[in-house]
Amino acid sequence: MRVLILEDEVIISRDIAEIIEGEVEDIHVANCYDAAIKLMRQFSFDICLSDINLNEEKTGICFVREITKLYPNIQIVYITAHYDQNTIEKTEGTSPVGFIVKPFTSPQIIAVLKQAMNKVKVRNNSNPGFQNLTSQEQKILGLISTNISNREISEKLFVSEKTIRNHRYNMLKKLNLPKEKNALLLFGMKCFPI
Amino acid sequence: MKLKFKKIIEFGTDGVPLSEQRIVRLINTICLITCSVTVVTTFLMQLIGGFNWIMLLNGVYSSACFFLPIYLNYRGKTVWAKWGLVLIFNQIILTIFKSTPYEVSSWIVFIAFFPLYVALFSKMKTVIFISLLTVLFICTYIYLQSLPSHKAITSYSADQILFKQLIFFLTATFGVLFLSLFIRHNLINHKNRLEESLSEKEILIKEVHHRVKNNLQIISSLLNIQSRLIEKNLVSAQDVVSATQSRIQSMALVHEQLYNSVNLKTVSFYSYLTTLCNHLKNIYYPASKNINVKIVSDDTFLDLDKVIALGLIVNEIITNSYKYGFVDIESPEIQILFSVKKNIFTLEIRDNGIGYVPELPAEKKGIGLQLIADLTGQLKGSHVVKTVGGVQHKISFNI
């Protein structure tokens, strides 16, 4: 399971990383919007813990909107100093697992993280074979499940259309799916329910 | 041209409370317009009616009178300007009946000017006082005129009286109209400024709220990180407590500086460093007794977040120097230099101590160096350490 932490204050992000160290193996930390976008293109993430106010023009909500475009089924947790109607309204449509209000305690973070992890696990267990896919393949499967064309997927991931076709072929082989039309789309929709 | 007018209208508004700024602007507007109108009419009268010494002197005198409050405002004497304007208006009220065929003309002009008095003085008492005084003067004048010993200076023919009546009533009517327009415009302008300032303050208060919570979170996180080190028996609890205390202080001092700053957004880095160094000296008192701390740089103003991060960095470096840097060193000294060149901020801290002991395992050093590295990363800057006759830290980042 791979987690991304987006938090502009390094001391806080280090603390969060240390808190969840025992729960997840793969933790990546970003201290600004651009760094987070870079990480998002490099790896596929299951869970994202994001601050909202990043002390720059872009907010954590902007980033979450970007990352959910790429990984439709990523689990989002907001960590914020503000928990008011205005903030909640702004996060509308990003369907976060939960909000953690600063100043937080370690058990709060662990509790919400576990909830998010469970959601990821349920998906992985109910769809055997999904775990065996590489992170790039998982990413592509997520995009396939939104029913968009190969060309659109290739544009989103900055690769050629042919690469996507290769990935599709490999995935069909790995998953050993029945030979019917739209097999990958059906499987993707099962993995990434809306 | 419009910009220049605006600049003149803003004369004397600096450093005046918001409610007074409106009055200063009103005085400047009225004086500027009446002054220019007087200059133009004097010039036209000279052109149309032929050269006339008395008229010319009169014009110069009145325009100078109206220019005076603007000048007083410019010099920052806003109260004098206000009373000066009142004096000028009263002078008009008390002399107007000489040039009109009416004895009641003073009354009419006084009633026309009355809204101005109300707008100029925020206290109703002052308005009533001035009005009563003026009324008293007018009454005395009229009474004196009615005495049998009084002789009219000039006598008019019937045609002249009609003409003067017309001119007088036209001027009075337009005077009242323009005056109320100015006051209205002035009030709307004032209201907009108040609203602007209010929304600015609202944003500021939200930001402060956010900062407070964020800073509490930073403190809580610092304690969290260090308590894990205590659990692993890497540092003693006592060390952690005193180190955290000085870190909290370095953050709190930023807010103290901010409270004293003018714009509530930027902080003087020099005065912040001075207070921070004094503070650290007190915390590590017996050890820091003979150590000389020198800050040799010109002042610069930095944003709040940058100063908080820099303050924590400086705190770590100086604490390290105090604690481990000076063992059997003659005339120990710490030097702090900083500068801004081409948008790059550089901070250098040097000591003439024993330098780092490289054998010390990384975990044993606590989180000090880790913090410095993390925070320079947050500033998107670089951190270089040299050990040439003591330790030299150099931190630079793009502002």
| CATH number reported for the structural domain that contains residue A85 in this entry | 3.40.50.2300
**B218: chain A residues, CB-CB within 8 Å:** 9, 11-12
How high does pLDDT run on average in chain B?
84
Task: Residue A72: give the domain boundaries.
Answer: 2-126
Nearest CA in chain A to B223: A15
pLDDT of residue A120 exceeding 80: yes
The pair of structure tokens assigned to A32 is 């600004």
pLDDT tens string B11-60: 878 778 877 888 888 899 889 888 888 889 888 888 887 777 888 888 88
Nearest CA in chain B to A18: B225
User: Tell me, what's the ipTM?
Assistant: 0.72
pLDDT of residue B361 exceeding 70: no
CA distance B182 to B185: 5
Which homologous superfamily does the CATH classification assign to the domain defined by B234-398? Histidine kinase-like ATPase, C-terminal domain (3.30.565.10)
Does residue B396 contact residue B344 with C-beta atoms inside 8 Å? yes
| Structure confidence at residue B47 (pLDDT) | 86
Question: According to CATH, where is 3.30.565.10 located in chain B?
Answer: 234-398
CATH of the domain at A184: 1.10.10.10
**A82: chain B residues, CB-CB within 8 Å:** 209-210, 213
> What band does A41 get if pLDDT is binned at 50, 70 and 90?
confident
Whether A12 and A108 map to the same domain: the answer is yes
As a whole-number percent, the residues of chain B with pLDDT over 90 amount to 9
Does residue A54 contact residue A80 with C-beta atoms inside 8 Å? no
As a whole-number percent, the residues of chain B with pLDDT over 70 amount to 94
Chain B residues contacting A via beta carbons under 8 Å: 209-210, 213-214, 216-218, 220-222, 224-225, 228, 305, 371, 374-375, 377-378, 380
Whether A184 and A156 map to the same domain: the answer is yes
| Mean pLDDT calculated for residue range A113-126 | 83
Whether A50 and A80 map to the same domain: the answer is yes
| Structure confidence at residue B155 (pLDDT) | 64
More confident residue, B365 or B137: B137
pLDDT tens string A151-191: 888 888 888 888 888 888 888 887 777 777 777 787 777 77
Mark yes or no for CB contact B213/A103 under 8 Å. Answer: yes
> How many structural domains is chain A composed of?
2
| Structure confidence at residue B363 (pLDDT) | 52
pLDDT of residue B360 exceeding 70: no
Whether A110 and A137 map to the same domain: the answer is no
> What band does A193 get if pLDDT is binned at 50, 70 and 90?
low
* Domain final position from A126, A143, A177: A126
| Mean pLDDT calculated for residue range B288-306 | 84
Highest mean pLDDT among B201-205, B284-288, B308-312: B308-312
Give the contacts of B126 (CB within 8 A, at least 6 positions apart). none
The pair of structure tokens assigned to B211 is 């900062």
pLDDT tens string B169-193: 888 888 888 888 888 988 999 999 8
Whether A122 and A140 map to the same domain: the answer is no
pLDDT of residue B117 exceeding 80: yes
Mark yes or no for CB contact A14/B225 under 8 Å. Answer: yes
- C-alpha distance from B247 to closest chain A C-alpha (Å): 12
Whether A60 and A92 map to the same domain: the answer is yes
Whether A151 and A187 map to the same domain: the answer is yes
pLDDT of residue B115 exceeding 80: yes
| Structure confidence at residue B217 (pLDDT) | 92
Whether A16 and A50 map to the same domain: the answer is yes
* Domain final position from A107, A126, A145: A126
Whether A74 and A21 map to the same domain: the answer is yes
Q: Which helix (H) or strand (E) holds A49?
A: strand A47-51
Mark yes or no for CB contact A102/B374 under 8 Å. Answer: no
Cis bond before residue B148 (omega within 30° of 0):
no
Whether A142 and A91 map to the same domain: the answer is no
Half-sphere exposure of A182 (CA within 13 A, CB side): 9
| Structure confidence at residue B209 (pLDDT) | 86
